Amino acid sequence: DAGITQSPRYKITETGRQVTLMCHQTWSHSYMFWYRQDLGHGLRLIYYSAAADITDKGEVPDGYVVSRSKTENFPLTLESATRSQTSVYFCASRPREGQEEKLFFGSGTQLSVL
């Protein structure tokens, strides 16, 4: 099916482990984003990418690494997971500049760090 998909849907890991969350979109959208959702904070931007090989920090980038070697994939890596990174993570994409309202979200990855 076309669209934006995230995997895994649920993940439990331990403090200090490396974890990678996957995001794949089939629309060839230029922009891709990673958000985390926490109670009382809404959605906060972690990293975004305007195109392949172009990434930039968002509001809360510390402890996360991203890459975008291909337009359709935008993985998010927690290099050494901490309990404060327990959250629901959403990937999103949109076509290009000037179409900020055309933001499409994946279904999310619920991550628990024990």
Contact footprint for other proteins (CB under 8 A): 31, 35, 40-45, 48, 50, 58-59, 90, 92, 97, 100-103, 105-108
CA 35 to chain CA centroid, nearest Å = 6
CB 92 within 8 A of CB 111: no
**Shortest distance, CB of residue 75 to other proteins, whole angstroms?**
17
**Shortest distance, CB of residue 95 to other proteins, whole angstroms?**
12
Most distant CA pair in the chain, distance? 41
DSSP label at 85?
G
Q: Which is closer to other proteins, CB of 80 or CB of 107? A: 107
